[in-house]
Amino acid sequence: YPGWWEGGPTVHFMFNKAKFEELPPTYQSLLKSVSQGVDADMLQKYDYKNPAAIKSLVANGAQLRPFSPEILEACFNAANEVYAEMEATNPAFAKLWQSIKAFRSEYYTWAQVAEYNYDTFMMLQQNAGKL
C-alpha cells in the first residue's frame, strides 16, 4: 500500500453527451442527483467498512507492508511516461489529462493546509492511545 494508481475510490458515470443533452432537464437533473448519491453512498460504505476489513485481515495473518519510496517513485514515473505518450497521441486524453493535472495541483495545495495536518495529528493521537 498505498494504491499509487488510485488515491481514493470514486464511481464514474459516463454518458454520450449528445444523448444526455437530448434528455428533458428533469431527467438530466435526476441522473446527476442519482450519480452524486451513488458515489457518496459508495464512499461512506468504503470508509465505514474498510477499518473492520483491515482488522480482520491482520487478525487472520495478513501483514501490511507499505511500498517503499523507491517502488512508489518507479510506479509514478512509469505511469507518467505512459500518460505522456497518450497525451501526445490522443487529443481526447490530452484534454482530460490537462484538466486532471490542473485540479490535482490545486487540490494538493489545499490538502497540505487542511487535510494533511489534521489527519496527521489525529493519527498521532490514535497511536498514543488517545482515541
Question: From the CB of residue 50, how many other CB atoms can be counted at a distance below 10 Å?
Answer: 11
DSSP string, 4-72: TT-SS--------HHHHHHS-HHHHHHHHHHHHHHHHHHHHHHHHHHHHHHHHHHHTT----PPPHHHH
How large is the average pLDDT for residues 12-39? 96
% of the chain surpassing 70 pLDDT: 97
pLDDT digits 0-9 by tens, 58-80: 999 999 999 999 999 999 999 99
Q: Looking up cell 490542473, which residue turns up?
A: 102
pLDDT digits 0-9 by tens, 38-61: 999 999 999 999 999 999 999 999
**pLDDT tier at 81, thresholds 50, 70, 90:** very high
Q: Work out the widest C-alpha separation in the chain, in whole angstroms.
A: 57
